Amino acid sequence: METLKTHVVHGGTLRYLRHDSATTGTAMTLSVFVPPGEGPFPVLIWLSGLTCTEDNFTTKAGAYGAAAEHGVIVVAPDTSPRGEGVADDPAYDLGQGAGFYVDATEAPWATHFRMESYVVGELIALVDAAFPTTKARAISGHSMGGHGALTLALRHPHLFRSVSAFAPIASPTRCPWGEKAFAAYLGADREPWAEHDAARLIEEGVGAGCFDDILIDQGDADPFLTEQLKPELLVAAAEAAGQTVTLRMQPGYDHSYFFMASFMADHLAFHAARLKS
């Protein structure tokens, strides 16, 4: 991995990195914060939402004070492959910046849009090879990235000790954002879509018994709450399946990074307790 720039923050080191990905066939960028000390440290992988790069979380979330306090490496990858020759769409909710953390099966997306394999395979291996990790991992994210965190944790529970999300797309098979993206990336047959829907995965018992709790923060003033996010579907699925989900409806908060920055320390503490147990 090539280091693009380095900053000292909260006594730790933040690096912006780039590498050529064998999974996506493109250059991929990410940020990695390493707390002060020799380590080794557990890792939190953060997945960002629609239109974001690795920079949104890195500069706006205010995560690194708590990460330094708890001794946690924080990894924030880009949300999709990018560059010349990579398929795209003029809309903000499809194409570059909108990878949805799935492996696309349909043209023209399938060539590069392999974000599930990238995160759970190549990214984890690169971070473990390049940084002093304990190989204990957690995953979290926001909106589209909250969907990604939930589904990747449920589908690959052996890789993660804990999972949380901010304002996740709880059931992408039942909202406009998800229906549009899944039709493009996965095809018109809706049956395979359920394999990437957190609410439906929980209903089916996928990942059952692997996580003692799933922490969700959701602002009740979020403009996307009713049409796109639908956390009630996740809660209903969890209740039916016997999976503990802690949904905290935060009064007055919207969908922005101001919301995430307000509760990020809670999520770092939640993960640290499980990563070090």
Catalytic residue numbers? 143, 222, 255
Intra-chain end-to-end CA distance of the chain, in Å: 31
- Reading the block at residue 167, the tokens are 């304002």
> 121 and 135 in contact (C-beta within 8 Å)?
no
DSSP secondary structure code for residue 86 in this structure: S
Q: Which amino acid is it at 263?
A: F
> 171 and 198 in contact (C-beta within 8 Å)?
yes
The 10 Å Cβ neighbour count of residue 224 is 18
Residue 142 C-alpha from the chain's centroid: 7
Position of tokens 């999972």? 163
CB within 8 A of 107, min separation 6: which ones?
A: none
Closest CA to 180 of 188, 147, 117: 188
| Alpha-carbon span 268 to 10, nearest angstrom | 15
Q: How many residues are there in the chain?
A: 277
